[in-house]
């Protein structure tokens, strides 16, 4: 099947002033779109052309010869998950089942956001910060470059892109300011809850 660029769940200017329409235009329209285009070129005429995106990721993980396919496929998947991890007027205190689980597994919301921010800040270079479910317990993790929890058998609940292309136009080198905006104004807790079930 041809891998398609999923629609954004909101307009490009919907996350302003926290993420500008200009950032969305480049990040979604250029970067995400390029991963889709590159992936389709790389799998054309191969056995992987008939696989789902998730299966392409799982079948090429940890295979040095397939690193180009893995990187593009994982970036396609990660970005779609990231767009849905955000919403206009999001962020702040969690709602629903995830709220209680954060209290149990992190000892409260304040500890949780401090640790998630730190996970994003300490990822050296390009990558992603994630909230995942492991053995029914919440955990934070960072992945480098295109790497993704679904390649490690983990269930992602929330992600934030910490590649410079995600924040440089709006925050320059201020990754911490971008992470603050994500946590306080953008997190889509309904999406997190929908991934928990």
Binding site for Mn ion (CB under 5 A): 161, 163, 166
Nearest approach in angstroms of CB 79 to Mn ion is: 6
Burial profile 101-122: b = 16 or more Cβ within 10 angstroms, e = fewer:
bbeebbeeeeebbeebbebbee
Query: How large is the angle between the packed helices 33-43 and 67-84, nearest 10 degrees?
Result: 140
Residue among 141, 156, 154, 139 nearest 196 (CA):
156
- Name the helix (H) or strand (E) containing 83: helix 67-84
CB 70 within 8 A of CB 166: no
- Least CB distance to Mn ion at residue 73 (A): 14
Least distance between Mn ion and beta carbon 159 (Å): 10
**Between 32 and 101, whose beta carbon lies closer to Mn ion?**
32
Output 87 or 166, the one with its CB closest to Mn ion: 166
In whole angstroms, the minimum distance from the beta carbon of 85 to Mn ion comes to 12
C-alpha–C-alpha distance, residues 37 and 109, integer Å: 39
Beta bridge partners of 143: 128
Q: Which CB atom, from 94 or from 127, has the smaller least distance to Mn ion?
A: 127
- Cis? peptide before 17, omega within 30° of 0: yes
Q: List beta partners, residue 130.
A: 141, 159
> Whose Cβ is closer to Mn ion: residue 51's or residue 161's?
161
Query: Which residue is closest to Mn ion by CB?
Result: 161
Q: Which is nearer to Mn ion, 51 or 147 (CB)?
A: 147
Bridge partners of 140?
131
Q: Would you say 77 or 191 has its CB closer to Mn ion? A: 77
Smallest gap from residue 145 Cβ to Mn ion (A): 11
Shortest CB 97 distance to Mn ion, Å: 28
Alpha-carbon gap, residue 151 to 104, rounded angstroms? 27
């Amino acid at each position: 099947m041809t891998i398609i660029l999923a629609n954004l769940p909101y307009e490009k200017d919907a996350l302003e002033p926290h993420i500008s329409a200009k950032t969305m235009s480049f990040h979604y329209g250029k970067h995400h779109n390029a991963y889709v285009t590159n992936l389709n070129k790389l799998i054309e005429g191969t056995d992987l052309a008939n696989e789902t995106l998730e299966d392409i990721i799982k079948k090429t993980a940890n295979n040095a010869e397939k690193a180009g396919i893995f990187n593009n496929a994982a970036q396609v998947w990660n970005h779609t998950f990231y767009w849905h991890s955000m919403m206009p007027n999001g962020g702040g205190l969690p709602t629903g089942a995830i709220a209680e689980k954060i209290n149990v597994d992190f000892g409260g919301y304040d500890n949780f956001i401090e640790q998630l921010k730190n996970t994003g800040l300490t990822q050296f270079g390009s990558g992603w910060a994630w909230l995942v479910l492991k053995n029914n317990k919440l955990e934070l993790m960072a992945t480098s470059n295109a790497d993704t929890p679904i390649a490690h058998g983990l269930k992602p609940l929330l992600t934030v892109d910490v590649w410079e292309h995600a924040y440089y136009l709006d925050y320059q080198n201020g990754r911490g300011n971008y992470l603050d905006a994500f946590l306080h104004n953008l997190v889509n807790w309904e999406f997190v809850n929908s991934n928990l079930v």
